[in-house]
Structure 1
Amino acid sequence: MNVTLRQMRVFAEVARRLSFVRAAEALHLTPPAVTMQVKELEAAVGLPLFERSGRQVSLTTAGEYLLLHARRMLAVLKDAEDAMARLKHVEVGRLDVGLVSTAKYFLPRLLVQFREQHPGVELKLHVSANREQLVALLRGNEIDLAIMGRPPKDLATRAEAFAAHPQVFVAPPDHPLLRVHPVTPLALEREPFIAREPGSGTRKHMEDFFARHRIAPPLAMEMPSNESIKQAVMAGMGLSFLSLHTIGLEVRSGLLGILDVQDAPIVRSWNVVHLSGRTLSPAAEALRYFVLEHGEAMLAAHDAPLMVGPNDPRATATLSSA
């Protein structure tokens, strides 16, 4: 086939987003330019790669097969670029960083500091709705580094913990349980809960807590967004279980309260993760070291004042307790 790497890159981006318009925005091209590249690729292959129905786009069987090869080709090309960068000992080029949606509340602050020290690195963030989507990006070699909680067990990765990740029970500011210290897990069983969707790490940790204490609070609603959950809790629709990193503004403003639940907060850890078989570029190594060195101090300083009670020892939860 007489195809170009440019065509394969455009095809892979359209396949990932299932949208010619969003792919054009990501590639800094016009939609007609993206359409032309895909049409030229389809002509070279001799098969349609996408099915189009109005604004809906889906891959054909041929497109699904070609996407597997396209991702491999682009991953090999990225490895070659990284190898040349290592030989030149330079920290330049594009760095693809994947993160679960909860990490978007703190990672940009770290990346601003990183860019000040490494201005030659172009950062591209891939924000996944939940853990499962982020693992798929890792598996597909679409990102250099991932910022996540639980590393995948079914994928060969190197995971390094860099900061504590407290998760807490939250309530609207007038909820009577906010005046109870401590709240027993049994007291939660009568309260409706608004939860993240299945596949979310936060959802799993909440369910693990309920299972350990043998309670089954009613599930009032599922939502795929921390922001939507916060709005629902503030409206009085129920309680929830969220990352402490996501609620700082609402707690400081008096719009949400943190419940003093026995055996909470649940303190896990944040990890910086990459495929173990992949050699990192100098830029990726620089970001990895930066996150490991600065991540814990920044998060501890940001989150400690939010914890229950000014003298609560949990306010100083660090990575050592994760």
Structure 2
Amino acid sequence: MKGVTLRQLRVFVAVARHLSFARAAEMLSLTPPAVSMQIRELEEQIGLPLFDRDGRKVSLTITGEYFLVHARKILGVLKDAEDMVARFKKVESGRLVIGMVSTAQYFLPPLLARFCDDHPGVEVSLSVANRQSLVEQLRRNEVDLAVMGRPPKEMATRAEPFAAHPHVVVAAPEHPLIKLGHVPPLAIAAYGFIVREPGSGTRAVLEEYFRRHGITPRIAMEMPSNEAIKQAVMANMGISLLSLHTIGLELASRRIAVVDVEETPVFRRWHIVNMLSKVLSPPAEAFRYFMLEHGEQHLADQFGEV
């Protein structure tokens, strides 16, 4: 294994994360043939296959699963070394990996653009995942900072709130609930809900709201993204509870309406999170301070005061 390269390890971890050569190629800005070549050369160095390939389906072999643990450790140690060197180079340069829950993609990119304008020498990578996956990325040292609503309690992190995060019940403008005005929680329980997958923060907020009111929601369908849910709501296929920060355009164009339900909006907080055990690089520290200083005002400017 003396010929194994860090490039091969990064490609291997990317393919293992997505279980897709095409998705890994997109994430790494490579072509799928280049990714396949890197994996083939790595398997030749190891002498055993790392992936089972069945048409377009890809899965890790037993060897691949064990090797993935060590590959992540190697890349994590390298990232810590890079961060240490960056501290001596100050914030003018360095690499910053930011993880975010999918709901944050509706407001974080403009903030990140402002940060990059102020720090043009910093190389930034984004990872978008649901809450459960993002917690694992933090644990495995794959991201420097995470932007999320509900910080993890199962491990030692520093979670700093930077803005309010309201959730509202939404429906198509012609839905009967819109005409009723102010309604109790029991009134919405009779309608089918379109929900995110288990492990998402939005799903957790919905379940907690109904649990607090002693109501079991009627799940009409489950979808893996906010965009899919919005399309289904606009088609009047059901109602949903979504972050207000995901529906700005649809509210402005009157394609989605907010249902006036007791004890809504449900307020949570946006947090910037990092592992307590991790020494942040200067770019990471700079972005952390940037979010704490500008995050709340940016959300107020983009979505209005709530």
Structure-1-length-normalised TM-score: 0.90
Consecutive unaligned residues in structure 2, runs of 5 or more:
none
Match of 2:247 in 1: 247
Q: CA deviation at 1:28?
A: 3.0
Q: 1:223 to 1:35 in 2, by over 3 A?
A: closer
Give the secondary-structure state (helix, strand or coil) at the position aligned to 1:216: coil
Match of 1:221 in 2: 221
Q: CA deviation at 1:280?
A: 0.8
Tell me how far apart the structure 1 counterparts of residues 152 and 144 of structure 2 sit (CA, whole Å). 15
Match of 1:160 in 2: 160
Matching of residues 164-179 of structure 1 within 5 Å = 164-179=164-179
Tell me the amino acid that sits aligned with residue 226 of structure 1.
N
Q: CA deviation at 1:220?
A: 1.2
Tell me how far apart the structure 1 counterparts of residues 7 and 255 of structure 2 sit (CA, whole Å). 49
The Cα offsets for residues 190-211 of structure 1, whole Å up to 9 and x where unpaired, read as 2221111111111111111112
Matching of residues 1-322 of structure 1 within 5 Å = 1-2=1-2, 3-128=4-129, 130-304=130-304, 316-317=305-306
Q: 1:291 to 1:53 in 2, by over 3 A?
A: same
The Cα offsets for residues 242-265 of structure 1, whole Å up to 9 and x where unpaired, read as 000011111111111111111110
Tell me the amino acid that sits aligned with residue 66 of structure 2.
Y
Q: 1:216 to 1:139 in 2, by over 3 A?
A: same
Give the secondary-structure state (helix, strand or coil) at the position aligned to 2:141: coil
Tell me how far apart the structure 2 counterparts of residues 134 and 174 of structure 1 sit (CA, whole Å). 36
Tell me how far apart the structure 2 counterparts of residues 187 and 102 of structure 1 sit (CA, whole Å). 27
8 Å Cα contact 2:91/2:122 also seen in 1: no
8 Å Cα contact 2:91/2:286 also seen in 1: no
Q: Bigger shift: 19-28 or 48-57?
A: 19-28
Q: CA deviation at 1:20?
A: 2.4
Tell me how far apart the structure 1 counterparts of residues 219 and 28 of structure 2 sit (CA, whole Å). 41
Report the aligned-residue RMSD.
Answer: 1.5
8 Å Cα contact 2:91/2:119 also seen in 1: no
Tell me how far apart the structure 2 counterparts of residues 204 and 82 of structure 1 sit (CA, whole Å). 34
Q: CA deviation at 1:37?
A: 2.5
Match of 1:312 in 2: none
Tell me how far apart the structure 2 counterparts of residues 60 and 197 of structure 1 sit (CA, whole Å). 27
Q: Bigger shift: 131-140 or 99-108?
A: 131-140
Tell me how far apart the structure 2 counterparts of residues 37 and 190 of structure 1 sit (CA, whole Å). 53
The Cα offsets for residues 252-309 of structure 1, whole Å up to 9 and x where unpaired, read as 11111111111110010000111111111111111111111000011122223xxxxx
The Cα offsets for residues 5-27 of structure 1, whole Å up to 9 and x where unpaired, read as 22222222222222223323333
Tell me the amino acid that sits aligned with residue 29 of structure 2.
H
Following TM superposition, the consecutive aligned residue runs of length 4 or more in structure 1 with deviations greater than 6 angstroms are none
Tell me how far apart the structure 2 counterparts of residues 204 and 176 of structure 1 sit (CA, whole Å). 26
Consecutive unaligned residues in structure 1, runs of 5 or more:
305-315, 318-322
Structure-2-length-normalised TM-score: 0.95
Tell me the amino acid that sits aligned with residue 233 of structure 1.
V
Give the secondary-structure state (helix, strand or coil) at the position aligned to 1:204: helix
Give the secondary-structure state (helix, strand or coil) at the position aligned to 2:92: coil
The Cα offsets for residues 23-60 of structure 1, whole Å up to 9 and x where unpaired, read as 23333333333333222222222221111112221111
Q: 1:59 to 1:161 in 2, by over 3 A?
A: same
Give the secondary-structure state (helix, strand or coil) at the position aligned to 1:90: helix
The Cα offsets for residues 138-164 of structure 1, whole Å up to 9 and x where unpaired, read as 122111111001111112211111000
Tell me the amino acid that sits aligned with residue 204 of structure 2.
K
